[in-house]
Amino acid sequence: MILDATINDISDTDKKFLLAMLDDAEESRISDIASRMNVSLSYAGHYRRRLIDQGIISESGRGKVIFSMPMFKELLKKRYTAQS
């Protein structure tokens, strides 16, 4: 329930950022996320910071992030890739 509420409470662009992370096995490079979103690094960086502040993702080395909420990645995959 908490994960569903989190998904419902984040912005569409936050969701796009998180969905851009789904292609990666573990950690995601910010440059790859920006490329997948077709946005600049600074634009992606703004959403990176928002999602870190919300505790949804965390830093995993220089220029890399990972999902920090258990099962959140799996829920996103289930909810959004099944619709494609």
Cβ atoms of 20 and 28 closer than 8 Å = yes
CA distances from 74 to 38, 43, 46, 49, 65 (A): 24, 25, 24, 22, 16
Range of the domain at 7: 2-81
What confidence tier does 80 reach under pLDDT thresholds 50, 70, 90? confident
- Tens digit of each residue's pLDDT (9 = 90 or more) over 28-39: 999 999 999 999
Q: If you count DSSP H runs as helices and E runs as strands, how many of each does the chain have, helices first? A: 5, 3
**Lookup: tokens for 34:** 């920006």
Give me the number of domains the chain comprises. Answer: 1
CA-to-CA distance for 11 and 23, rounded, in angstroms?
20
**Three-state secondary structure call for residue 59:** strand
Q: What is the CATH number of the domain that holds 13?
A: 1.10.10.10
Decide: helix, strand or coil at residue 28: strand
* Whole-structure pTM value: 0.89
Residue pLDDT, tens place only, 59-77: 999 999 999 988 889 989 9
